[in-house]
Homo-oligomer: A and B are copies of this chain.
Amino acid sequence: MSTKKTSLKDIAQRAGVSMALVSYVLNGKEKESRVGQEIASKIKQIAKELHYQPNHLAKSLRSGKTHTIGLIIADISNPFFANIARVVEDEAKRNGYTVIIGSSDENAEKSRDLLNVLINRQVDGFIIVSSENSAEQVRDLQEKNIPFVLLDRYFPDIETDFVSTDHYQAAYNAGAHLVKNGYKRIGMIAYDSQLFHMQERIRGYVEALTDQHVPFQKHWLKQIRISAIEQGVKAAIDEMLAAKQPIDSIVFATYSLAITGLKYINELSLNVPDDLAIVSFGQAEAFDLYYCPITYVKQPIGLLGKTAVEFLMKKLKHPQTEPSQILMNAELIIRASSKTKQPVHT
């Protein structure tokens, strides 16, 4: 019943040899370290009998490597991030790494806390979905020479590794698609955030309209404070519909905004797409099951996550190489919610 974990020392004692030998054998360095055949198999035998499992802490303390990476995301209960997390988890495991996930709630302070906690726990590196005003944190990591890869969002004026969707292009496609399908007054509901990916989504949307000769109206764009989503979205939709020229379609810049917006649109008994066409960022079952399946921007989640891990692994092996950067294309999945506009007066 005395379940003391067995250590190298225990094995060494039983085998009547030094710990060093045991270590060599159990790490497969029998040849290099010229361990005798006989004693080697004896050691292995004993290790098996005692169910020896190495203590990762001790290994890490010695080696300086924990084989652990920190994944900072906005919120694990958001399906986009949950999916990312799953991919990262699997990819990391394939590489012999364990992942510690932390949710920042898009909040720079929480994000800093998480970074600190995980740095103290000696993670080898980070994959980070940055929150607003966290540029300084990124610079900190660089100064401390802690390897990291930015995911989904990056800072155009800081040279880092990153893996991101081309948010500009994605939003551009979304906007252009609505124009092509006959919509004339196209709103966007986005976050009131300086984060580059959000700015890019807005820019893409605006430029798509402009390029397609639908002159963008300032009041078509509503930016919601992240701290009051529901309130903000409702107000935005109300205003958009109350205008003299009410909008006929909305691009939601994120999944959360879309969910909140769609619930409200349901409450208002508006019909999608006849009263209001919808295109959204994000992807989830909710969009598939909506009475009128939602057209959405499908980010290459699997590839994003995989590549982020890959870049980080590269960085961990060769810390001094040039940053790896990649911008991936999102696919616009076209569904009924944005179908060609039916003229109101035939």
Closest to A81 in B: B82
Interchain CA distance A57-B118 in the complex, whole Å? 11
**How many identical subunits does the complex contain?**
2
Contact A66 B76 (CB under 8 A): no
Interchain CA distance A218-B228 in the complex, whole Å? 50
Interchain CA distance A58-B3 in the complex, whole Å? 23
Closest to A100 in B: B100
| Chain B residues closer than 8 Å to A53, beta-carbon distance | 116, 119-120
Interchain CA distance A78-B79 in the complex, whole Å? 8
Contacts known (A284-B286, A289-B263); A101 close to B120, Cβ less than 8 A: no
Contact B122 A56 (CB under 8 A): yes
| Chain B residues closer than 8 Å to A144, beta-carbon distance | 3
Report the minimum CB–CB distance from A15 to chain B (whole Å): 22
Report the minimum CB–CB distance from A51 to chain B (whole Å): 9
Interchain CA distance A77-B53 in the complex, whole Å? 30
| Chain B residues closer than 8 Å to A54, beta-carbon distance | 120
Q: Counting CB contacts under 8 A, is A322 at the interface?
A: no
Q: Counting CB contacts under 8 A, is A121 at the interface?
A: yes
Q: Counting CB contacts under 8 A, is A86 at the interface?
A: yes
Q: Counting CB contacts under 8 A, is A75 at the interface?
A: yes
Contacts known (A55-B122, A101-B101, A144-B3); A77 close to B66, Cβ less than 8 A: no
Report the minimum CB–CB distance from A114 to chain B (whole Å): 9
Contact code string A44-58 (vs B, CB < 8 Å = 1, else 0): 000000000111111
Closest to A119 in B: B53
Closest to A122 in B: B57
Interchain CA distance A289-B120 in the complex, whole Å? 43
Interchain CA distance A145-B99 in the complex, whole Å? 25
Contact A76 B76 (CB under 8 A): yes
Contact A83 B77 (CB under 8 A): yes
Contact B102 A100 (CB under 8 A): no
Contact of A98 among B76, B82, B85, B121 (CB under 8 A): B121
Report the minimum CB–CB distance from A118 to chain B (whole Å): 8
Report the minimum CB–CB distance from A101 to chain B (whole Å): 6
Chain A residues numbered 58-98 whose CB sits less than 8 Å from any CB in chain B? 58, 60-61, 66, 68, 75-79, 82-83, 85-86, 89-90, 98
Chain A residues numbered 230-244 whose CB sits less than 8 Å from any CB in chain B? none
Q: Counting CB contacts under 8 A, is A199 at the interface?
A: no
Closest to A80 in B: B77
Q: Counting CB contacts under 8 A, is A103 at the interface?
A: yes
Q: Counting CB contacts under 8 A, is A285 at the interface?
A: yes
Contact B145 A3 (CB under 8 A): yes
| Chain B residues closer than 8 Å to A100, beta-carbon distance | 98-100
Contact of A289 among B61, B118, B259 (CB under 8 A): B259
Known pairs A77-B85, A290-B291 / 15 extra A-B pairs, C-beta < 8 Å = A57-B61, A61-B61, A77-B79, A77-B82, A78-B82, A79-B82, A86-B103, A89-B101, A99-B100, A99-B101, A266-B289, A284-B285, A286-B286, A289-B289, A290-B290
